[in-house]
Amino acid sequence: MSAADPSAAPAAAAVADPDGPDAVRLTWNTWPRSKVEASRCVVPLAATISPARVPDPSAASPPPLPYPPLRCKPPCSALLNPFARVDFAAKIWICPLCFSRNHFPPHYAAISESNVPAELFPQCSTVEYIVGGAGVPGVGGAPAPPPPVFLFVIDTCVIEEELEYVKMAMRKAVALLPEHALVGLVTFGTQVHLHELGFSDLSKIYVFRGTKEISKDQILDQLGLAGAGRPGFPKMPQQPGGPQVNGMHPPSTAGVNRFLLPVSECECALSTLLDELQPDQWPVEAGNRAIRCTGVALSVAAGLLGACMPGTGARIIALLGGPCTEGPGMIVSKDLSEPVRSHKDLDKDAAPHFQKAIKFYDGLAKQLVSQGHVLDVFASALDQVGLAEMKVAIERTGGLVVLSESFGHSVFKDSFKRIFEGGEQSLGLSFNGTIEINCSKDIKVQGIIGPCTSLEKKGAVCADTVVGQGNTAAWKMCGLDRNTSLTVFFDVSPSERSSQPGHQNPHLYIQFVTSYQHPEGQMRIRVTTICRKWVDGSTNTEELVEGFDQETAAVVLARYISLKMEMEEEFDATRWLDRSLIRLCSRFGDYRKDDPSSFSLHSNFSLFPQFMFNLRRSQFVQVFNNSPDETAYFRMLLNRESITNSVAMIQPSLISFSFDSPPSPVFLDVASIAADRILLLDAYFSVVIFHGMTIAQWRNMGYQNQPEHEQFAQLLQAPHEDAQMIIEGRFPVPRLVVCDQHGSQARFLLAKLNPSATYNSAHDVAPGSDIIFTDDVSFQVFCEHLQRLLAVQS
């Protein structure tokens, strides 16, 4: 007997943790039964899941189970879960997804109603199993997990100062790396330098030309790793006390570990190397960009890692200081008179290198995915570096990406440090994830948006329509971390039999099975099974409304249109959003015909128009305000972040600090600005502390330093503390902007506010408040239009 109450779990958990213990959120928690009904819901049926999310420590979750899970018989293969009906007497369980009956294996013989394995506990809708000691399937029995591999790829076509920042960051990173982690170093400029760290006599560098595309086989061949690589890759740093003696390729160092060494062994060499690292020596002609062969550098890095065992968790960490100007992956010619492509160029198909570069990175992505390795990009440059082209490789491999203006900027420095930190602060970087989805019969999967790649494993769950990475029942995530979140799009396609009344099961089940290499090294399988209710939508709008999650819906829509904007030419996102909103409101809103003012929405929908309003104005839709690189960056993060964080990207939160009241959220509206307030804006990518005029004056006069005004000092301090909390919990680290009203930096706040007061509406500007110079409509106007349209339309 199943002990779970399907509807209770999510509701209860939502209070503590918006994402629940399962880290799954759905746009609709109640599903219409038919295709037609589903499409009338306007917002697609979708779920977001964070497969490696560490549940809130306070929530009592069982420790990982040290045994392998039980599976339903093929083709279902779903894992045993709390929703299974168990016949303790017969030692049989019935799969809730396919209703097959399965016998428990002998070692489950002790099972009884009072002795239930953890995976059957009702609260254990999500459980983890630890499988295999080493965790690498296929390599049996090795006791220690393979060490993580970090291959740094550093751009040297930067000015001395930037390079110094890079070195500083690198030194910190090396100090933070676990002793056994393997490290490699590639530097590049006009040519690619692969440093052989295991060679002690002198600095030994393999040089690859930047102009020529080079295949993995060629690289391995040229490095003398061909053949030797795969089988030879040692599980552990080679025998202790065996430092590389003289000799180029002594047998002991014949493998890839000439280039990838445990930190403990190469720390010294690495620091010497960093000390002597110079900006690229090749001359830059006047009027030209530096020649930078990012593409080949990444190829070389990927090729080198190709000599590692597949399944070894490895990251390529690329630090880029500018655009690729030569060879494969080139995004702009070295001639400075040619600007880097803009959205306009892409629109007009006037970016000559774009498609070629995309193709190159697509190939690189495929290679990395097949090797199971990750590409992380830290781009720190004032101009673009080609993230738009690299997006495919970063996203498919589940890599991290950080875009900043300089290697000296805290956005880079702190973010970079974060990835090496352990403990609470750790990002929980995991490797080699695969995710499979099992669902109840009538549910199909259209695809996933997010940092993963299709494994092209066709299955019964594949829907005809494809969204994102689709047409498969399994996906690869080379890299994933605690925050990684995927959006799965579902389709309802009831089979004829199941649509017959009477046969209907009131519940639907979806099971996410993720296997990945935990940061601690072991291989884990995480199973999340969710249960939701079917409703007959045509008759029961109420129930549907109850099940609506507007935040998730807004985020899913944002992800969905971002994808459409990239995939479909001439896609008009604003119009599409408007029409969707109108359709949704007309379906679920209450109003009287021809009376716009009668319009009202259920509380589950109340925020949705505002989300849409802000989404229309956001960087995801209004791309022309940004460079293609920034757009790519924003979208990559939108696609991989949790719902809460993603909502902040769409609709920033605004908190007001003043003497009058405790810190409280205020409307994201220009009207929230007041002279005696401090506002804290969290727009995810940036955190803005905005001092009202009066506050700024007081502060400038130094009141906070006077003992009698301690309160003022506290008021000044409070937003900083809050900002710090936000910053600490976030990767990439947001940009902190501290500004004063009417200061130039104030634009970071003003750009996000609803322009309820503009220079056009200057009639009653309260003293101390502000106006925004824009022709954009305000939210009020937007809503009026919406109501009028609805009322008139119907």
Q: Which residues are registered as beta bridge partners of 150?
A: 183, 315
Shortest Cβ 715–other proteins spacing (Å): 55
**DSSP characters for 543-585?**
HHHHTB-HHHHHHHHHHHHHHHHHHSTT--HHHHHHHHHHHHH
Kindly list the residues in this chain that would bind other proteins in the complex (CB under 8 A): 191, 193, 196, 199, 201-209, 212, 214, 218, 222-224, 245-251, 272, 276, 281-283
Q: Residue type at 726?
A: I
Tell the smallest beta-carbon distance from residue 303 to other proteins (Å): 11
Q: Which is nearer to other proteins, 88 or 282 (CB)?
A: 282
- Considering the complex, what minimum distance in angstroms separates the CB of residue 328 from other proteins? 15
Give me the least distance between CB of 620 and other proteins, in Å please.
Answer: 43
**Which residues face 772 on adjacent strands?**
758
Residue 206 or 599: the one with the smaller Cβ distance to other proteins is 206
Shortest spacing between CB 242 and other proteins, in angstroms: 14
Nearer to other proteins, 218 or 626 (CB): 218
**Residue 181, amino acid:** A
| Residue 68 or 283 having the CB closest to other proteins | 283
129 or 199: whose CB is closer to other proteins? 199
Phi, psi of 38 (to 5 degrees): -60, -40
Nearest-approach distance from CB 199 to other proteins, in angstroms: 8
Please, what is the minimum distance in Å from the beta carbon of residue 264 to other proteins? Answer: 22
Q: Which is nearer to other proteins, 278 or 505 (CB)?
A: 278
Helix (H) or strand (E) holding 727: helix 710-728
Of residues 330 and 689, the one with the C-beta less far from other proteins = 330
Tell me whether residue 221 or residue 345 sits nearer to other proteins (CB atom). 221
How far lies 457's CA from each of 383, 462, 469, 525, 596, in Å?
40, 9, 11, 19, 50
Nearer residue to other proteins within complex by CB, 227 or 250 = 250
Contact by Cβ (8 Å): 293, 188:
yes
From the list 510, 516, 523, 480, the residue with the least C-alpha distance to 79 is 510
User: Which is nearest to 379 in space by CA: 343, 415, 349?
Assistant: 415
Least Cα distance to 49 among 162, 126, 104 occurs for: 126
Residue 359: Cβ-neighbour burial (10 angstroms; 0-12, 13-18, 19+): middle
Q: Where are the beta strands (DSSP E) in 678-787?
A: 678-682, 686-691, 735-740
The residue count for the chain: 794
CB of 262 to other proteins, least distance (A): 22
**Residue 421 per-residue DSSP state:** -
Closest CA to 419 of 301, 317, 267, 310: 317
Instruction: Give the number of other Cβ atoms within 10 Å of residue 515's Cβ.
Output: 21
Chain-centroid distance of CA 728 in Å reads 17
Compute the least distance from the CB of residue 512 to other proteins, in Å.
Answer: 44
Q: Which of 678, 747, 745, 683 is nearest to 713 (CA)?
A: 678
- How near is the Cβ of 177 to other proteins at its closest, in Å? 25
Place of tokens 């993963």: 452
Nearer to other proteins, 244 or 487 (CB): 244
- Cβ neighbourhood burial of 22 (10 Å; 0-12, 13-18, 19+): buried
Helix (H, G, I), strand (E, B) or coil at 7: coil
Residue with smaller CB distance to other proteins, 158 or 463 = 158
Measure the N-to-C terminal CA separation of the chain; round to a whole number of Å.
Answer: 49
Least separation in angstroms between residue 299's CB and other proteins is 13
